[in-house]
Structure 1
Amino acid sequence: MSLIVGAYPAQPAGSQQEFFRGLAAVPAVRGLELPYGPHGGNPWPAGAPAEWAAVVTSIPGTMQRLGASAAFGLASPDAGGRREALEFVAGLHAYVLSLKGEGRQVEAVELHSAPHPGADAAMFRASLSEILGWDWGTTRVLVEHCDAPRPGGRPEKGFLPFGEEVEVVRSLVEQVGSRVGLVINWARSVIETRNPDTAAEHIALAREAGVLAGVMFSGCSPDATEFGYPWIDAHLPAVEVEGAPPGSLLNRAGIQWCLAAAGTGPFIGFKVGLPREGLTVQDRVDRLRQMCALIEGS
């Protein structure tokens, strides 16, 4: 099995080249999930192999732009907020083209159905339809599901409900085929319901609807941990990984259950955070290697 790794929450403040060279020695890794910020993306990481693939996620920039403007979002019913989000994705598009111009293989981009509150499925579909009209080449435009609003509780993201996103993407698949799809992030599905079974259920439903394009493993906990408050979306490692909080709900059995639900079609990857201080570069690489082993089933 070959994996896309969101390494940016785990990388050290310095020694980036050493870190990515170490990660390149892990056979299961075939590429990186790269973050796109509120005003742009970073250069290809020093030390990362030129032949690796990339999946670009817009979640860091989406959350920061949403924090500055409550109407911002591709699903916004506010015309100005939706236009701002489309301009943001236009910048992401230019970033993808720049990476591809350097010879990088950008498999996909991951977009999100902000804002909260007030995300509207019809507006989200209109935004995605416009975005799919741009020239992406072989790069796929994917929706990554985040937790939806839930009665009686404060959400982490609070974007569109899963069923509405599935229907939006399914309707677009009918028009443009596999150029569009849906990505399930384990933690973001579990945070939504507080039930570890939800991730596999979402995966199975997306696959049944013909929209499943990717699965990213990232953990969460009902307890306060060094990563933050209970149910924070902070990319906790699986509980079997050295140094992981004992309350992390992501584990080997859950990973294998989700892989069985996903089948062989979607890309598979993971994203875990690690403390910024107190770990050597080799410690970081070793913990990402342990995540790879859990997913590979060894």
Structure 2
Amino acid sequence: MKHFVVGAYASQPSDLESQREYYDLLAQTGWVDGLEIPYPGQLHQGVLGEMLEGRFTHSVLTAIPGTMVNVWDDPNFGLASPEVSGRAKALEFTSQLRDALEALHQDHGHIVDWVALHSAPTNRATPEAFQESLETLLEWDWCGARIVIEHCDEQSEEHQAEKGFLLLEEELAVAHAAGVHCSLNWGRSAVGSRGDQRPNEHVAEAAESGLLAGVIFSGASPLATEYGPAWIDGHLPLSSDEPASLMTPEQVAKASELAGEVAYLGAKCCVPQHATLQERLGMIENIYLCCT
């Protein structure tokens, strides 16, 4: 069964009361099965767990926020680092994530189906180091969740990469060797390739490998917008809501078709600062409708 996952943290309002209302609206849709849950270095599982418990039970826990904070602090940090010290720090960080996941599940029941990990560091990652880290991680108890390698913008000699992790073909090879799956974020493939063609090529390539677990639809732009400068991982909405976004309804529909029978599709987008709760939900629903 294909589930629909929403990265609600990108579109949620800032105050807790409104966040609760927003999560209630998402739950009432009947088509949001899980959330993409960010792990910056801790989970406030009390409040978060209460909002998730019993209704968003096919979620994805992503390590990318904390991974990037650590990479900015230490350029050697990462599960794919050729430096032993950087890989050790990344394994310790991932151990903390695993412990937070266990606590979340113990207190609130099963919520997370997938844990998204990444091939950091920037412009230094190696497939060999990443595979070695994954072999260690797969020995751990993941509390009913499965590891998925989330592809980000790749190393590049043509432009300054934002994340600059491994190439998709390298990650697919590592995933095959380790016995795990990969996932894609449409906007990150656009940022990495500086265009709107490579994202769907990535979807086709990963689907053909048989290792594609899911696709999250998030936009990107070659222009500066209210969501940030050009070519950043800014989680832009669909082009019908933000004309500068490369992520059109047609692109989303095509990618959903190319993905085939994956475990999940999803949507993550930022919204205008003063958007109402209904407007926030509407921008997510616009993406969802393109997937169906």
| TM > 0.5 | yes
- 2:262 paired with 1:262: no
User: Structure 1 residues 133 and 47, CA, compared in 2 at 3 Å: closer, same or farther?
Assistant: closer
Report 1:1-298 matches (<5 A): 2-14=3-15, 15-37=18-40, 39-43=41-45, 44=48, 46-48=50-52, 50-53=54-57, 54-101=59-106, 102-173=108-179, 180-240=180-240, 244-275=241-272, 277-296=273-292
| Structure 1 residues 155-213: Cα deviation after superposition (integer angstroms, max 9, x where no partner) | 1110111111111111112xxxxxx2100110111111123121121111112222111
- Partner Cα separation in structure 2 for residue 108 and residue 133 of structure 1: 16
- Partner Cα separation in structure 1 for residue 130 and residue 80 of structure 2: 4
Q: C-alpha displacement at 1:282, in angstroms?
A: 2.4
Q: C-alpha displacement at 1:138, in angstroms?
A: 2.6
Q: C-alpha displacement at 1:228, in angstroms?
A: 1.0
Structure 2: runs of 5+ lacking an equivalent:
none
User: Structure 1 residues 48 and 259, CA, compared in 2 at 3 Å: closer, same or farther?
Assistant: same
SS of structure 2 residue aligned to 1:4: strand
- Partner Cα separation in structure 2 for residue 45 and residue 279 of structure 1: 25
Q: TM-score, normalised by structure 2?
A: 0.93
Structure 1: runs of 5+ lacking an equivalent:
174-179
- Partner Cα separation in structure 2 for residue 129 and residue 261 of structure 1: 30
Task: Count matched residues.
Answer: 285
Q: C-alpha displacement at 1:137, in angstroms?
A: 4.0
| Structure 1 residues 260-281: Cα deviation after superposition (integer angstroms, max 9, x where no partner) | 1111133111111123x31222
User: Structure 1 residues 112 and 4, CA, compared in 2 at 3 Å: closer, same or farther?
Assistant: same
- Is this contact kept in 2: 1:75–1:120, CA < 8 A? yes
> What percentage of residue pairs aligned between the two structures are identical?
38
What do you get for the CA RMSD once the two structures are aligned?
Answer: 1.5
Q: C-alpha displacement at 1:49, in angstroms?
A: 5.2
| Structure 1 residues 92-112: Cα deviation after superposition (integer angstroms, max 9, x where no partner) | 111111121121331010000
Q: C-alpha displacement at 1:46, in angstroms?
A: 4.9
- Partner Cα separation in structure 1 for residue 35 and residue 275 of structure 2: 21
- Is this contact kept in 2: 1:3–1:30, CA < 8 A? yes
Q: TM-score, normalised by structure 1?
A: 0.91
